Structure 1
Amino acid sequence: MSEPSPTPARRGRLLRFGGAVVVLLALAGYLTVQYLTGGPGIPRCTVVSGQSDDESYDFTPEQAVNAATISAVGTNRGMPERAVAIALATAIQESGLRNIRHGDRDSLGLFQQRPSQGWGTTAEIMDPTYAADIFYEHLAKVDDYARLPLTVAAQRVQRSAFPDAYAKHEPDATLLAAALTGRSAATLTCQGPADATVTGGADSVRAALVRDFGRGVLAETGAAVGDADAPASPTAAATASPSTAATGSASASPPSTTASRTVTLPVSAVSATGGADGTTVGERGWELAHWAVANSASLHIERVSYAGREWRAESADSEWSPSDTSAGSDAKASTEEVRIVTGQ
């Protein structure tokens, strides 16, 4: 005897339920794609090759901030670009460049380091600056790491159950390292709205610079706050007293609202005092400029200019363009300074 057919009411409920499931699955798929690739209104960052090979890597602002931190910590330790590429490939594999609070057993953070294995406390490992620093500390102990295959060097630090997993991320990590260390000029861009959940401004930019590069980045470059609409003197900024550089104030009086929007980083003397061995002034300048763009969403950075090129958050294509010399002092066509203009 056959089963009775579903009643019209039951069929209606089944159809509504099935329709709801289809809609939810479609929405989940759409949001996943938009988050990973960057859609309308969703911030996205891209790094391209400095060569004519059309290679590129797309990533999110969250990933950009973490990548910039990893690179800055490495160069601040005097590590070469190859070390930065190894660290970035490792973090892409281990966490997708996200500072996650979960993993295999007690693994945590960007590099999935384990407190039980002596990598540090939970709080330390969840600090991206500390996590990157301890990674480089271990990498530096690997004999001839710069000449080893990337996946071998990473594995000797990580001791992963999947020793060959890092190799597939080498092309993307190499692109990122070239841009974030400054060797590849004007190759990193971000687009989309700033993160509305955080407060930006020049003070936040200086704090983030110290977080990633150490306090020496302010004293070293004479970091100063200037008026976004008036010329800033590189000489005055470079000769600012330590107290002025630390506070970012261009004078003893509190800066005006407009003045507090701009951070000027002279880089003319950097090659002698900062960066990895052999780092040129231009490379250091592009390192700082790309760092600022990578942090643009979280720090509400609107413009970054260096060496006659300018990036604007409001630009539709978000590319580095020739500076408009009629637009103001942040269009400085030299390698003497990086200018960062915030929206707050």
Structure 2
Amino acid sequence: MPERTTTSRRRRRLLRGASAILALAGIAAYAVVQYESGSRARPHCEARGADPEDGPHSLTPAQAANAATIAAVGNSRGLPERAVTIALATAMQESSLRNLDHGHLDSLGLFQQRPSMGWGDEQQVRDPVYAANAFYTKLLEIPAYEELELTVAAQEVQRSAFPDEYAKHEGNATLLSGPLTGRAPAAFTCVTDNDPTPADPELLRERLEEEFNGRASVEPRDGDGFELTVTLEPAGGEADGSPGWELSHWLVAQAGTLGVAEVVHDGRRWLSARSDEGWRTAEGNAADSGASGDSGDSGGNSLETVRISLIPSTE
């Protein structure tokens, strides 16, 4: 009997050891597949502040794309960063930066604007560019809005039943507005899906034209139109961020839907296939977030120029 018990124990130990080895092998194989296929984390975006204790603020790709649109519209109107921060905080409260098809009574879209209250028809208020423009137009009617507390300025536009709720989003909205207005370089990045969307160069041109109000010009670098140089003119007015970083962060925010494979500007490179690594120096070393890097042939040749590569169609 003792011999059988000892043998059984040995067998159980061997089985447990084999199971552990198989489990470790499975984990290793999964890690290799994830590494070779690109991103190793779920798709998401992050904005970081200059202070390591500030942030990061994480968003879904859809939220990030809407935030970038709101910022692009404000920038292109020549508005100060404060206006963009107010708009972002308002949309965070009203819709969590989602383009909603429902809301209280007839409220719709990013800002929960009501067609019955003169904001526009249902299709218009669910158009992020239209909705952002409508918000900024109302904001500009408020005297000295830049000097008001954020929640007061937002409430003057929205007339919400919960006027104090906007204030809680001010910190995250400020983190977002810095990079999305181009003031904070390499401070916004996204991790994309491992199954990227093929690009439509014409759709990209249309989106650039609409969201930047004619400020963007596109030049092809190859015959297929998937290698491009995009130049964004300064907005003027009170918008004083770097146009190149404004555009670069917008492209990263829209990468998942527009099929952006690579963005290169000011000595920094973002790659969709290695998007979990964020912004890197163009030579391939990891770049510190917030550093401007060395400009040169590897990046844009000016503060307004960005080189991009798009994911070709498989058709």
User: For 1:331, which of 298, 306, 309 is the aligned residue?
Assistant: 298
1:62 is displaced (CA, Å) by: 0.5
1:331 is displaced (CA, Å) by: 2.1
Match of 1:157 in 2: 157
Cα deviation, 1:250-274, whole Å, max 9, x if unaligned, reads xxxxxx23xx11221235xx34xx2
Unaligned runs of 5+ in 2: 1-38, 285-295
Code of the aligned partner of 1:339: R
CA contact (8 A) 1:79 1:276 kept: yes
Supply the distance in 1 between the matched residues of 2:271 and 2:119 (Cα, whole angstroms).
39
Code of the aligned partner of 2:189: T
TM-score by length of 2: 0.78
Supply the distance in 1 between the matched residues of 2:300 and 2:105 (Cα, whole angstroms).
52
Match of 2:121 in 1: 121
Supply the distance in 1 between the matched residues of 2:204 and 2:72 (Cα, whole angstroms).
14
Supply the distance in 2 between the matched residues of 1:91 and 1:158 (Cα, whole angstroms).
10
Supply the distance in 2 between the matched residues of 1:69 and 1:279 (Cα, whole angstroms).
17
1:202 is displaced (CA, Å) by: 2.5
* CA spacing shift, 1:195–1:167, aligned 2, 3 Å: farther
Supply the distance in 2 between the matched residues of 1:119 and 1:297 (Cα, whole angstroms).
30
1:330 is displaced (CA, Å) by: 7.3
1:204 is displaced (CA, Å) by: 2.2
User: For 1:225, which of 220, 225, 230 is the aligned residue?
Assistant: 220
1:276 is displaced (CA, Å) by: 3.9
1:76 is displaced (CA, Å) by: 1.0
Match of 2:182 in 1: 182
The answer to whether structure 1 residue 304 and structure 2 residue 263 are counterparts is yes
The answer to whether structure 1 residue 341 and structure 2 residue 309 are counterparts is yes
1:206 is displaced (CA, Å) by: 1.3
Supply the distance in 1 between the matched residues of 2:51 and 2:92 (Cα, whole angstroms).
23
CA contact (8 A) 2:300 2:306 kept: no
Supply the distance in 2 between the matched residues of 1:341 and 1:303 (Cα, whole angstroms).
5
Give matches, 1:24-63, under 5 Å.
42-63=42-63
The answer to whether structure 1 residue 266 and structure 2 residue 231 are counterparts is yes
Match of 1:31 in 2: none
Match of 2:202 in 1: 203
CA contact (8 A) 2:44 2:190 kept: yes
Match of 2:72 in 1: 72
Unaligned runs of 5+ in 1: 1-38, 228-255
What percentage of residue pairs aligned between the two structures are identical?
A: 45
Supply the distance in 1 between the matched residues of 2:300 and 2:239 (Cα, whole angstroms).
24
1:277 is displaced (CA, Å) by: 2.9
Match of 1:10 in 2: none
* CA spacing shift, 1:334–1:129, aligned 2, 3 Å: same
The answer to whether structure 1 residue 288 and structure 2 residue 247 are counterparts is yes
CA contact (8 A) 1:202 1:263 kept: no
Task: Give the structure, 1 or 2, with the largest relative contact order (CA under 8 Å, sep 6 or more).
Answer: 2
* CA spacing shift, 1:321–1:70, aligned 2, 3 Å: same
CA contact (8 A) 1:275 1:284 kept: no
CA contact (8 A) 2:81 2:239 kept: no
* CA spacing shift, 1:159–1:316, aligned 2, 3 Å: closer
Code of the aligned partner of 2:212: F
1:317 is displaced (CA, Å) by: 2.9
Code of the aligned partner of 1:335: S
Supply the distance in 1 between the matched residues of 2:310 and 2:194 (Cα, whole angstroms).
11
Supply the distance in 1 between the matched residues of 2:251 and 2:243 (Cα, whole angstroms).
12
Q: Secondary structure at the match of 2:273?
A: coil
Equivalenced residues, count: 262
Match of 2:238 in 1: 277
1:339 is displaced (CA, Å) by: 1.1
